A and B are shown apart, each in its own frame.
Chain A
Amino acid sequence: MEALERILADLAPAGPHAGARLRAAEQVRAHGVPSTRQEAWKYTSLASLKDIAYRAASAADGAALDAQGLAALPLASASPHRAVLVNGHFRADLSTLDALPAGIRVRSIAAAAAAEAELLAPVYAEHTQPEAVFTALNAALLDDGLLIEADADARLDAPLHLVFVAAGATPLLRAPRVIVRAGRHARLRVIEEFVGQEGDRGLTNVVSDLVLEEGAVLDHHRLQNEPDSTAQIGRVRATLAANATFNSDSVTFGGALTRIDIEVALAARGARCRLNGLFTTAGTQHVDHHTLIDHQVGDTHSEELYRGILDGRSRGVFNGKVLVRRDAQCITARQASNNLLLSRQAEIDTKPELEIYADDVSCAHGATVGELDTQALFYLRSRGIDEAQARALLTYAFAEKVVETIPLDSIRHAIEERFIGAGALSELEALLEQS
Chain B
Amino acid sequence: MASNAQDIEKIVDRQYAAGFFTEIDQDTVPPGLNADTIRLISAKKNEPAWMLDWRLKAFARFQQMREPNWAHVSYPPIDLQAISYYSAPKSDKDRPQSLDEVDPKLLETYEKLGIPLEEQKMLAGVAVDAVFDSVSVHTTFRDKLAEADVIFCSFSEAVQEHPELIQKYLGSVVPVTDNYYAALNSAVFTDGSFVYIPKNTRCPMELSTYFRINAMNTGQFERTLVIADEGSYVSYLEGCTAPMRDENQLHAAVVELVALQDAEIKYSTVQNWYPGDEEGRGGIYNFVTKRGDCRGARSKISWTQVETGSAITWKYPSCVLKGEDSVGEFYSVALTNNLQQADTGTKMVHLGRGTRSTIVSKGISAGRSQNAYRGLVRIAPGAEGARNYTQCDSLLLGDRSAAHTFPYIECRNPSAQVEHEASTSKISDDQLFYLRSRGIGQEDAVNMIVNGFCKEVFKELPMEFAVEAQKLLGISLEGAVG
- Chain B residues with Cβ under 8 A from A347's Cβ? 410-412
Complex: chain B residue closest to A327, CB-CB: B399
* B interface footprint on A346-357 (CB within 8 Å = 1, 0 otherwise): 111111111111
- Chain A residues with Cβ under 8 A from B218's Cβ? none
- Chain A residues with Cβ under 8 A from B394's Cβ? 354, 356
Task: Decide yes or no whether B162 CB sits under 8 A from chain A.
Answer: no
Task: Decide yes or no whether B166 CB sits under 8 A from chain A.
Answer: no
Complex: chain A residue closest to B423, CB-CB: A364
Q: How far is the CB of B381 from chain A (nearest CB, A)?
A: 7
Whole-angstrom CA separation of A134 from B403 in the bound complex: 31
* A interface footprint on B391-424 (CB within 8 Å = 1, 0 otherwise): 0001011111111111111111111111111111
Task: Decide yes or no whether B426 CB sits under 8 A from chain A.
Answer: yes
| Best-surrounded residue of B379, B402, B411, B422 (most CB of chain A within 10 A) | B411
Q: How far is the CB of B71 from chain A (nearest CB, A)?
A: 12
Whole-angstrom CA separation of A353 from B345 in the bound complex: 14
Q: Is the CB of B399 within 8 A of A366?
A: no
User: Which residues from 353 to 383 on chain B have a C-beta closer than 8 Å to any C-beta of chain A?
Assistant: 379, 381
Complex: chain A residue closest to B427, CB-CB: A359
Given A346-B414, A358-B399, A371-B417, A351-B422 contact (CB < 8 Å): no
* B interface footprint on A319-347 (CB within 8 Å = 1, 0 otherwise): 00000001101000000000101111111
Q: Is the CB of B420 within 8 A of A366?
A: yes
Q: How far is the CB of A313 from chain B (nearest CB, A)?
A: 11
Whole-angstrom CA separation of A367 from B392 in the bound complex: 12
Task: Decide yes or no whether B70 CB sits under 8 A from chain A.
Answer: yes
Whole-angstrom CA separation of A53 from B428 in the bound complex: 59
Task: Decide yes or no whether B74 CB sits under 8 A from chain A.
Answer: no
Of the residues B400, B406, B419, B423, contact of A370 by C-beta under 8 Å: B419
Q: How far is the CB of A396 from chain B (nearest CB, A)?
A: 18
Task: Decide yes or no whether B425 CB sits under 8 A from chain A.
Answer: yes
Whole-angstrom CA separation of A327 from B406 in the bound complex: 21
Task: Decide yes or no whether A368 CB sits under 8 A from chain B.
Answer: yes
Whole-angstrom CA separation of A346 from B70 in the bound complex: 28
Complex: chain B residue closest to A324, CB-CB: B424
Q: How far is the CB of B8 from chain A (nearest CB, A)?
A: 9
Q: Is the CB of B411 within 8 A of A361?
A: no
* Interface SS of B by simple majority: strand
- Chain A residues with Cβ under 8 A from B5's Cβ? 359
| Best-surrounded residue of A358, A359, A362 (most CB of chain B within 10 A) | A359
Q: How far is the CB of A354 from chain B (nearest CB, A)?
A: 4
Interface residues on B, range: 35 or more
Q: Is the CB of B409 within 8 A of A350?
A: yes
Task: Decide yes or no whether A427 CB sits under 8 A from chain B.
Answer: no
Q: How far is the CB of B369 from chain A (nearest CB, A)?
A: 11
Of the residues A326, A342, A349, A359, contact of B426 by C-beta under 8 Å: A359
Q: Is the CB of B404 within 8 A of A366?
A: no
Complex: chain B residue closest to A347, CB-CB: B412
Whole-angstrom CA separation of A363 from B373 in the bound complex: 15
- Chain A residues with Cβ under 8 A from B415's Cβ? 371
- Chain B residues with Cβ under 8 A from A387's Cβ? none
- Chain B residues with Cβ under 8 A from A369's Cβ? 379, 409, 411, 416-418
Whole-angstrom CA separation of A354 from B411 in the bound complex: 21
Given A347-B412, A354-B404, A360-B421 contact (CB < 8 Å): no
Q: Is the CB of B412 within 8 A of A366?
A: no
- Chain A residues with Cβ under 8 A from B419's Cβ? 366-368, 370
- Chain A residues with Cβ under 8 A from B411's Cβ? 339, 341, 347-350, 369
Given A341-B413, A364-B424, A367-B407, A359-B418 contact (CB < 8 Å): no
Q: Is the CB of A349 within 8 A of B409?
A: yes
- Chain B residues with Cβ under 8 A from A344's Cβ? 381, 413-414
Q: Is the CB of A343 within 8 A of B410?
A: no
Complex: chain B residue closest to A368, CB-CB: B419
| Best-surrounded residue of A339, A364, A367 (most CB of chain B within 10 A) | A367
- Chain B residues with Cβ under 8 A from A367's Cβ? 407, 409, 418-420
Interface residues on A, range: 35 or more
Q: Is the CB of B402 within 8 A of A356?
A: yes
- Chain B residues with Cβ under 8 A from A345's Cβ? 381
Q: Is the CB of A359 within 8 A of B404?
A: no
Q: Is the CB of A366 within 8 A of B422?
A: yes
Q: Is the CB of B405 within 8 A of A353?
A: yes
Task: Decide yes or no whether A39 CB sits under 8 A from chain B.
Answer: yes
Q: How far is the CB of B217 from chain A (nearest CB, A)?
A: 34
- Chain A residues with Cβ under 8 A from B403's Cβ? 354, 356
Whole-angstrom CA separation of A362 from B423 in the bound complex: 7
Whole-angstrom CA separation of A348 from B417 in the bound complex: 12
* B interface footprint on A236-278 (CB within 8 Å = 1, 0 otherwise): 0000000000000000000000000000000000000000000
Of the residues A326, A343, A359, contact of B397 by C-beta under 8 Å: A359
- Chain A residues with Cβ under 8 A from B414's Cβ? 341-344, 346, 371
- Chain B residues with Cβ under 8 A from A370's Cβ? 416-419
Q: How far is the CB of A338 from chain B (nearest CB, A)?
A: 10
Q: How far is the CB of B388 from chain A (nearest CB, A)?
A: 9
Task: Decide yes or no whether A29 CB sits under 8 A from chain B.
Answer: no
Task: Decide yes or no whether A17 CB sits under 8 A from chain B.
Answer: no
Complex: chain A residue closest to B414, CB-CB: A341
Q: Is the CB of B402 within 8 A of A357?
A: yes
Task: Decide yes or no whether A81 CB sits under 8 A from chain B.
Answer: no
Task: Decide yes or no whether A91 CB sits under 8 A from chain B.
Answer: no
Q: Is the CB of A360 within 8 A of B413?
A: no
Complex: chain A residue closest to B404, CB-CB: A355
Complex: chain A residue closest to B370, CB-CB: A357
Whole-angstrom CA separation of A346 from B412 in the bound complex: 6
Task: Decide yes or no whether A365 CB sits under 8 A from chain B.
Answer: yes
Q: How far is the CB of B431 from chain A (nearest CB, A)?
A: 14
- Chain B residues with Cβ under 8 A from A363's Cβ? 423-425
Q: How far is the CB of A304 from chain B (nearest CB, A)?
A: 13
Q: How far is the CB of A325 from chain B (nearest CB, A)?
A: 10
* B interface footprint on A24-55 (CB within 8 Å = 1, 0 otherwise): 00000000000000010000000000000000
Q: How far is the CB of B376 from chain A (nearest CB, A)?
A: 9
Q: Is the CB of A364 within 8 A of B422?
A: yes
Given A359-B397, A361-B425, A362-B425, A351-B413 contact (CB < 8 Å): no
- Chain A residues with Cβ under 8 A from B402's Cβ? 355-357
Complex: chain A residue closest to B72, CB-CB: A355
Whole-angstrom CA separation of A52 from B213 in the bound complex: 58
* B interface footprint on A370-385 (CB within 8 Å = 1, 0 otherwise): 1100000000000000
Q: How far is the CB of A355 from chain B (nearest CB, A)?
A: 5
Q: Is the CB of B421 within 8 A of A364?
A: yes
15 additional A-B residue pairs with CB within 8 Å, beyond A341-B413, A354-B405, A366-B421: A341-B411, A346-B414, A348-B409, A351-B408, A353-B406, A353-B407, A356-B424, A359-B399, A359-B426, A360-B399, A361-B396, A361-B424, A362-B423, A364-B421, A364-B423
6 nearest A-B residue pairs (beta carbon): A341-B414, A359-B396, A370-B417, A354-B405, A369-B418, A364-B423
**Which residues of B approach A to under 8 Å, CB–CB?**
5, 70, 379, 381, 394, 396-426
| Residue contacts A-B, CB under 8 angstroms, 13 given | A344-B413, A344-B414, A349-B408, A350-B409, A351-B407, A355-B402, A356-B394, A358-B396, A358-B399, A364-B422, A365-B405, A369-B379, A369-B416
